Structure 1
Amino acid sequence: MSERSIRHGLLDGEFSVGTFQLLDSTMVSEMIGIAGMDFVIYDQEHGPLTAETTLKLSTAAQNRDVAPIVRVRNNEEAEIQRALDIGAAGVQVPQIETRADAEAAVEAARFDPLGSRGLSKYVRAGDYVGSETYTDDRNEETLLVIQVEGERGVENIDEILDVDGIDVVFLGPYDLSQSLGIPGQVTDDRVEELMERVCERAADTETVVGAFADDAEIANKWIDAGVQYITLGVEVALFTEYLDGLVDDVDLPQTD
């Protein structure tokens, strides 16, 4: 799936797979594409990446036909606008709990008449000179992902799904587990029941669902439940765990 088509592909019922990236490394972005992933989420919420570092990473990803998505630090207009102005294919907004939260994300991510995103055509997203169709093109191509990752958000899921302009509702099992008082227990029945509830409600409104999965087994389970936008792990954890496994598999001689 090319960067230009990820939004349309998802809305047409296709599945896409990606991962989170925290490292400021263009080579990592390229490797994600070489591995065959469709998108990469640059994590500015839990990682050290900035707009400046994300810009060069996005370029590397797009050169490998990977859609760069930016998870912003919070649901603020300036955060969302900056992420999209650098030319990201989409933005992922954390901690959506109410209809008002969802409406604010749409307002910031969409140009008029769908929203009120600040307009400058002299940005990478507009090829630095813009065009007569720039705002319409961006509204058509930009993927807006909102994260429902707390018990309150699940309780309000119907009114959140009723907001026009949202493409993907993303489920964060770790924050869901914390909101339930069982932090880190992402496979607990209580967490999975909340996620399943959102999947069912989203299916009723034909809204795309995304979810985080630590491994392929968990990912396949959520695909069966209707998840299309699958985020497999975080690159720093995948690298660390792989190295740890290699070390464990080496038969080093024991010394006194």
Structure 2
Amino acid sequence: MSAKIKQKLANDETTIGSWISLPNVHTVEMMARLGTFEWLVIDMEHTSISTETMAQMIQVIDLAGVSPFVRVGANDPLQIKRALDCGAKGIIVPQVCSPVEAQQVVDSVYYPPIGKRGVGLFRAQGYGTTFEDYKENVAPEIVVIVQIEHKDAVDQLDEIISVPGVDAFMIGPYDLSGSFGKPGDFTAPEVAASLDKAKRFCQTSDKAGGIHVVHTDKTSLASNIEQGFRFIAYGTDMIFLAEKLSEVTIDLEVVKN
């Protein structure tokens, strides 16, 4: 599945997945079994998910025939290596602000001679029984996505995504607005201009652009596809739950009245 996603991104095709924020393996299994999403991202940056739970989630997603991706907490070789050795088929790295930092991501993901990833044996390598197959057929197909979520990153976007080994970039609008000192204020002129610049880049770049449509809105999803985004995370486990609970609350209020 990850090889297909990597090829889709290279071919400018749209691929849609979703986001995991709750540390609950059963929720992950429900989402993976839907057959709706091509990939699921385990968020290790803004959640309480532990490394052990991440490993279990990767197993569940993988065995359901969906590609397990991990958004690591930082551009850290150890965090990236542990996610990949657990079996992650894609890595999303936050706050990549320069081509030097993008190269650090590539170095952490790929084995020598392309990168500098440490060589070890765990689940991804068949618990020590399939390292050669993993090295030759799986590791080269890992999807590498850098997050563009700072004004400095937008200014260097072309250079960042031109780094060989980077498959796509993903805009982080909240942190981007925060880099202007105006977190969440997307109407501020400088924030809006930076976001527009990044979005326009999706239409001209040979690397796929990504975005997270956090709240489930089909109109917003269609609009982002129309704008040129090709790697789209739709919703999150906690948002799906929150939205459904809100619907139930409204229904109960109607019945009571």
TM-score over 0.5 for the pair: yes
Alpha-carbon shift at residue 182 of structure 1 (Å): 3.0
Corresponding residue SS for 2:132: coil
Alpha-carbon shift at residue 92 of structure 1 (Å): 0.6
Decide whether aligned partners of structure 1 residues 187 and 240 sit closer, same or farther in structure 2, where only a CA change above 3 A counts.
Answer: farther
Corresponding residue SS for 1:233: strand
CA–CA distance in 2 between the matches of 1:115 and 1:216? 39
- Match 1:228 to one of 227, 230, 233: 230
Matched, 1:105 2:105: yes
8 A Cα contact 2:2 2:142, kept in partner: no
Alpha-carbon shift at residue 222 of structure 1 (Å): 1.7
CA–CA distance in 2 between the matches of 1:103 and 1:38? 27
Matched, 1:183 2:183: yes
Decide whether aligned partners of structure 1 residues 13 and 205 sit closer, same or farther in structure 2, where only a CA change above 3 A counts.
Answer: closer
Corresponding residue SS for 1:219: helix
Aligned to 1:42: 42
Corresponding residue SS for 1:73: coil
Aligned to 2:88: 88
TM-score (norm 1): 0.90
Aligned to 2:248: 246
Report 1:90-169 matches (<5 A).
90-120=90-120, 122-128=121-127, 129-169=129-169
Structure 1 unaligned regions, length at least 5: none
8 A Cα contact 2:109 2:115, kept in partner: yes
CA–CA distance in 1 between the matches of 2:238 and 2:176? 22
Decide whether aligned partners of structure 1 residues 192 and 135 sit closer, same or farther in structure 2, where only a CA change above 3 A counts.
Answer: farther
8 A Cα contact 1:51 1:86, kept in partner: no
Matched, 1:63 2:71: no
Corresponding residue SS for 2:52: helix
One-letter code aligned to 2:64? R
Alpha-carbon shift at residue 202 of structure 1 (Å): 4.9
- Match 1:218 to one of 214, 217, 220: 220
One-letter code aligned to 2:12? G
Structure 2 unaligned regions, length at least 5: none
Corresponding residue SS for 2:170: strand
User: Percent of pairs identical after alignment?
Assistant: 28
Decide whether aligned partners of structure 1 residues 237 and 186 sit closer, same or farther in structure 2, where only a CA change above 3 A counts.
Answer: farther
8 A Cα contact 1:95 1:149, kept in partner: yes
8 A Cα contact 2:161 2:168, kept in partner: no
CA–CA distance in 2 between the matches of 1:177 and 1:246? 33
- The C-alpha deviation readout for 1:8-63, integer Å capped at 9, x for no partner, is 22223321111211122222222223151111110110011122111111111122
Task: Give the root-mean-square deviation of aligned CA atoms.
Answer: 2.1
Corresponding residue SS for 1:132: helix
Corresponding residue SS for 1:127: helix
8 A Cα contact 1:3 1:65, kept in partner: no
One-letter code aligned to 1:17? I
Alpha-carbon shift at residue 178 of structure 1 (Å): 1.8
Matched, 1:72 2:75: no
CA–CA distance in 2 between the matches of 1:190 and 1:238? 32
User: Could you list the runs of 4 or more consecutive aligned residues of structure 1 that deviate by over 6 angstroms after TM superposition?
Assistant: none
One-letter code aligned to 2:220? I
Aligned to 1:22: 21
CA–CA distance in 1 between the matches of 2:191 and 2:247? 28
Corresponding residue SS for 2:229: coil
CA–CA distance in 2 between the matches of 1:93 and 1:205? 20
Corresponding residue SS for 1:245: helix
CA–CA distance in 2 between the matches of 1:203 and 1:118? 36
8 A Cα contact 1:172 1:211, kept in partner: yes
